[in-house]
Amino acid sequence: MSSTVPRDPYEVLGLGRDADESAIKKAFRKLARELHPDVNKHDPDAEDKFKEAAEAYEILSDADRRATFDRYGHDGLRSGGQAPNFDGFGSVSDLFDAFFGGAFGGSFGGGARTGPRQGDDIAVAVDIDLEQAYRGDKVPIGFEAIDRCEHCHGNGAEPGTPIETCERCGGQGVLQAVTRSPFGQVVRQVACDVCHGDGRIPKEPCDVCDGRGLVVGHRELDVDVPAGIADGQRIRISGRGHAGDHGGPPGDLYVVVQVALGDRWLRDADDLVTVADLAAPLAALGTTVEIDHPDGIVAVDVPAGTQPGAVITVKGKGMPALRRSGRFGDLRVVANVVIPRRLTGDQRELLERLAASVEPDQLRDDESMVGKLRRLFHR
């Protein structure tokens, strides 16, 4: 089964290149059940096939990694330093480790898992706009997670049937494996291949979860996004991650907030930064410009003689400080002084008269040329 060249993930999952997220999930879940080592004990390559399917899903379920693969193939993923990495939250391996009970503990080389084990954490991304980040909002999310099987209440046995001590390991959950080495015999403990480290097996496995005690379910949740949250910040919701194994507590849910600022705004800490176009005559005379702000229209006074690139600051009109009630950053407006084009005859005549009337001291600036360059390149 092993190969130096990994297979195309679309081929592995039996999908076309236009498959959407729903089709990818459906194909992987179907394939995972067919290929799982517990179901294919007769197939010595079952473990490798299952891992290959999981790796294919990890590529295609991540939009950025899928786009990289579509353009550059596996070489692009390697050269970009991209390896399967979900920052410890809700990876495919974690998901199916929990879903298939002891499969990873037994077939994939882990140790015995007797006793409760906390469920894994989940990470879910949510997209919001600037106004939602400014005001705060309640945002609905949907995600898949491991839940306790309600039919068997998590014990893996069909209701009314007993759970028996595993005869293979005598209830210990582990077996001793003896191997020979140049230094003599080496004895190590491995998870029991029958009970997968539990020490007990249901006499009649649950019809719903196939004796695992856990099922994959879809959850929907409304998340309170606080005012002032920044792009990439996380919201932790305790106890809403994957269900624990053997009665262990659930993991946590982390909601990663992605704030779309659009093409008009930048954010610097709690300050909002935007650009206002000013006709050169208005910059010289002074004027008032209206800025379309998340809190409504903000009138900004532009002083006479405003120069290109000047920054006009409006106190308290930035983003609210996260969890600091009543505190706001500032609004910074960068003046983009625009020189008129395609002048009419009258306009040209007026500008010529203005140019002839301007005195040299009206063009002087207290700031030195070096100071201007420093401000330009270190802004």
Q: Tell me how far CA of residue 198 lies from CA of 47, 115, 177, 331, 358, in angstroms.
A: 20, 8, 18, 60, 90
Residue 199 contacts residue 166 (beta carbons within 8 Å): yes
Distance CA 109, CA 299 (A): 66
- Please provide the DSSP assignment of 180-200 as one string: EETTEEEEEEEE-TTTTTSSE
Positive or negative CA dihedral for 302, 303, 306, 311?
negative
Specify the pLDDT at position 371: 61
Full pLDDT tens readout for the chain, 379 residues: 444 567 888 888 888 888 888 888 888 888 877 776 556 666 777 777 888 888 888 888 888 788 887 777 776 666 554 444 444 444 444 444 444 444 333 333 334 445 677 888 999 999 999 999 999 999 999 999 999 999 988 888 899 899 889 888 888 888 877 766 555 566 777 878 888 778 888 989 999 988 888 898 899 999 999 999 999 999 999 999 999 877 789 999 999 999 998 888 999 999 999 999 999 889 988 999 999 999 899 999 999 989 888 999 999 999 999 877 789 999 999 999 988 888 888 888 888 887 787 777 766 666 655 665 565 455 4
Does this chain's domain 1-85 share its CATH topology with 266-377?
no
Distance CA 124, CA 142 (A): 8
Topology of domain 1-85 in CATH is Helix Hairpins (1.10.287)
Specify the pLDDT at position 270: 92
Domain boundaries, the chain: 1-85, 266-377
Q: Tell me how far CA of residue 101 lies from CA of 7, 155, 204, 227, 246, in angstroms.
A: 27, 11, 16, 40, 9
Question: Which residues fall within 8 angstroms of residue 144, CB to CB, at 6 or more apart?
Answer: 25, 95, 216, 217, 218, 219
Of 236, 21, 250, nearest in space to 147 by CA = 250
Residue 362 gets which letter from DSSP? G
Tell me the CB-side half-sphere exposure of residue 73, using CA atoms within 13 A: 6
Distance CA 358, CA 356 (A): 6
Phi then psi for residue 285, to 5 deg, are -85, -25
For the whole model, what pTM was predicted? Answer: 0.59
Of 232, 189, 196, 233, nearest in space to 212 by CA = 196
* Farthest CA pair distance, the chain: 104
Pairing relationship of beta strands 271-279 and 331-338 according to DSSP bridges: parallel
The highest-level CATH class for domain 266-377 is mainly beta
Tell me the CB-side half-sphere exposure of residue 115, using CA atoms within 13 A: 3
